[in-house]
């Protein structure tokens, strides 16, 4: 199991349960309460910090998703943990100066995952205070750094082997 898999599952199940509550209960809609409780236990007292840019983007995106749910104190507490971990993680990642390395020493999908999370950050209540432009600027810089390479025949964007998929 990855570092954030239980968190992703918990928030996804919470979203599904929230969506099902908006509609009338039907026999086809499963009760996710026990799955949510199980995943909640896995998420308790966890340190969500990471220096992986894709992981940071995932934390921000999960925090965004959680902030849109109308939950109780447990959701608010988890949201605070995620925003705190996201801030610490982002500071540690930026302090590592890995963005100063050449593109051949970095991974586009990880940094673009961070950009996606940074785009979601302004919807999180605690992060919207004066930091919106800073995070949007970093997201734009990441996209601008990788976009030109996506249109060039660069080995960073190709896996070296051609894989053919045949339909049976």
| Domain count across the chain | 1
Average pLDDT, the chain: 82
| Residue-wise pLDDT tens digits, 58-94 | 999 999 999 888 666 778 889 989 999 999 999 999 9
Asked, for residue 67, whether it belongs to a domain, the answer is yes
Q: Report residue 164's pLDDT band, with 50, 70 and 90 as the boundaries.
A: very low
By residue range, what is the domain housing residue 106?
A: 5-150
- Quick one: 159 exposed, middle or buried, by C-beta within 10 A (0-12, 13-18, 19+)? exposed
Asked, for residue 160, whether it belongs to a domain, the answer is no
Asked, for residue 164, whether it belongs to a domain, the answer is no
Asked, for residue 168, whether it belongs to a domain, the answer is no
Asked, for residue 167, whether it belongs to a domain, the answer is no
Helices (H), the chain: 5-22, 33-43, 53-67, 73-95, 108-120, 132-150
Asked, for residue 85, whether it belongs to a domain, the answer is yes
Asked, for residue 69, whether it belongs to a domain, the answer is yes
| Residue-wise pLDDT tens digits, 95-137 | 999 999 988 889 999 999 999 999 988 777 555 455 667 778 8
CB 92 within 8 A of CB 51: yes
């Amino acid at each position: 199991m990855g570092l954030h898999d239980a968190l992703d599952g918990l928030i996804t199940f919470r979203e599904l349960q929230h969506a099902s509550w908006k509609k009338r209960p039907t026999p086809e809609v499963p009760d996710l309460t026990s799955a949510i409780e199980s995943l909640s236990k896995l998420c308790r007292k966890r340190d969500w910090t990471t220096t992986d840019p894709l992981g940071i983007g995932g934390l921000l995106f999960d925090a965004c998703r959680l902030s849109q749910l109308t939950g109780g104190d447990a959701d608010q507490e988890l949201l605070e943990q995620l925003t705190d971990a996201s801030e610490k993680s982002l500071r540690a990642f930026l302090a590592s100066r890995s963005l100063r390395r050449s593109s051949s020493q970095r991974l586009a999908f990880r940094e673009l995952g961070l950009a996606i999370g940074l785009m979601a950050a302004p919807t999180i209540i605690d992060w919207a205070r004066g930091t919106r432009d800073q995070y949007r600027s970093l997201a734009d810089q990441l996209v601008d750094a990788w976009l030109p390479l996506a249109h060039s025949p660069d080995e960073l964007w190709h896996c070296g082997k051609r894989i053919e998929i045949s339909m049976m």
